[in-house]
Chains A and B, each alone.
Chain A
Amino acid sequence: MTALLELKDVTKRFGGLQAVGHMTFSLNKGEILGLIGPNGAGKTTIFNLINGFYPPTGGTIFFKGKKIDGLKPHTVCRLGLARTFQVVKPLARLSVLDNVMVSAFSRTNHREEARKTALEATTFTEMDAWRDVPAGSLPLGMRKRLEMARALATKPEVLLLDENFAGLNPTEVEKTNAIVKKIHETGITILIIEHNMRVIMAISHRLICINYGEKIAEGTPQEVANNPQVVEAYLGAAHA
């Protein structure tokens, strides 16, 4: 197994507050790695560090063996690492198709080619019927799916999914589950943050649990779920 993405001793401090501390893990090619932890544990901060929104205070991040910490998000994206946002960011006044075309332009300069990629990505995420709708008037479920379509249109090798299941109804959860599996089958490696335990236990090959910015457990979903520290982080010491 080769590590596509590697975090080595990554730390992020905001003033006196340590959001992420000494985080070390690697994402292997072809796997789905789940990132769990209580609210405020630092999961999204890790995504922001990987994707280049924040420079780390310490430590190094490697993508395909190349150091990427300190690079700007647009450069990281072009290297083949795409992300979705937990707090969805639709380009509100643009149609769904135009939203996806914007991201498709990261791989081409030609409008027709971008359009073709965008059509494929919207079909892949089953948004065909929504293409002409302004992204700002999409229901939440579709906004989450638009995040995935846009990320896919940048043709990534690694996809960071940030709570794409949050706030979805059971039918939508099933649909998104199927789409994530389909994305994985195309050969894209996935790092996923999720609070829906049923989903993440089923979908991930490995899990990492963090609390207060530090890794407290790593292993198969079963191992992590049975780890007393993890139970304590979620339910308190009395249950551990």
Chain B
Amino acid sequence: MSRKSLIGLLPVAAVLLIPLLTQSPYLLHMFILSLLWIVLGQSWNLLGGYTGQISYGHAAFFGVGAYTTGIMVKSGQSPSTAWWGLLLGGLAAAVVAAFIGWVCFRLRGSYFSLSVLALSEVLRLVAVNWNRLTNGAEGILFIPAFTQKTYYYYIVFALAAVNLGVIRWVMRSKPGYYFLAIREDQDCAESLGIDTTKYKLLSLLISAFFTGAAGAFYMNYMGFIDPGIVFSIPDISIMMILVTMLGGAATKWGPAVGAILFILVSEIFRVWVGSGHLLFFGVLIIAIIIYFPNGIVGTLTDRWARKRRLQGAEAAA
């Protein structure tokens, strides 16, 4: 293993040790939420940042994942479904994604973006009205399997790590190159031998799978969902976009930085300002868009690269 990848493992190791350093449920809760949002940001980033297919409705996949576990427990499975519930939630979300992608990805432009937004609303209404299956607007409530937050911490940590690993691996291999080509120019991608419909669908499937798994984790962890929470456009769909944009779309660590900042800032504002906290969060986002147009990670790496080029040019001169 190269030295660079060893250094890359250091923060991972540090994150792994956190539950040994603190048992505070509040702090662990913050860390768990951060990791959950890292998964959501990274998943949106694969499709929106790298493949250039903007989704305004990823709550559809989050909600389907959450309801899959919720309905499993409601219909008599034991609440310790956390483990394979994650997998099943992801798969259910991928099935929904396969349908919408298969319909929309032959077209280009905003068809997908808008259809997936509509899809998430349709699913929310289904969840509200299909009482027998979903308990409707009342939502689904169960006692979570573990009382210790440490377990959840490691589960979501594993999910985030697998998510990051899969995306890194994909982006370094053929599909990753194809995703970028599709983002840059679809006509060109087609003429270079890329089945653009198929690869857009592949990107969506991976993205939806992890979003669904994150939704299933959310259900397991919180023990309560209702349609308004998990199919929420502002709180899930739009936040996934903002988290990615905040940190830097199409960057390796951008979504992680965005997710941590998002949790940190909304918590600080919530404690200090109370109910008006979303307003301040909005102001922060406007400031970031002005001063870091490519997100924090994206803008900083651009600046460093330019500086290095200038230094290189000076050294050559």
Contact = CB atoms under 8 A, between A and B. Distances in A.
A136 to B, nearest CB: 9
Interface string A91-109: 1111000100111011001
Contacts of A75: 195
Given A53-B187, A85-B188, A72 B195 contact: yes
A64 interface: no
Contact of B193 (A78, A94, A111): A78
A102 B181 contact: yes
Contacts of A94: 180-181, 184
Contacts of B17: none
Interface in B158-200: 172-174, 177-178, 180-181, 184-185, 187-196
B51 to A, nearest CB: 13
B190 A91 contact: no
Contact of A106 (B172, B185, B193): B193
Contacts of B189: 74, 91, 102
A103 B193 CA distance: 7
Contact of A114 (B174, B180, B185, B190): B174
B174 A51 contact: no
B193 A154 contact: yes
Contacts of B196: 74
A91 B193 contact: no
A142 B172 CA distance: 26
Contacts of A150: 192
B150 to A, nearest CB: 39
A74 B193 contact: yes
Contacts of B180: 91, 93-94, 98, 102
A73 interface: yes
A77 B174 CA distance: 17
Nearest to B172: A111
8 contacts: A77-B190, A77-B192, A78-B193, A83-B191, A91-B180, A91-B181, A91-B185, A111-B172
Interface of A: 51-53, 72-75, 77-78, 82-83, 85, 89-94, 98, 101-103, 105-106, 109, 111, 114, 150, 154
Interface of B: 172-174, 177-178, 180-181, 184-185, 187-196
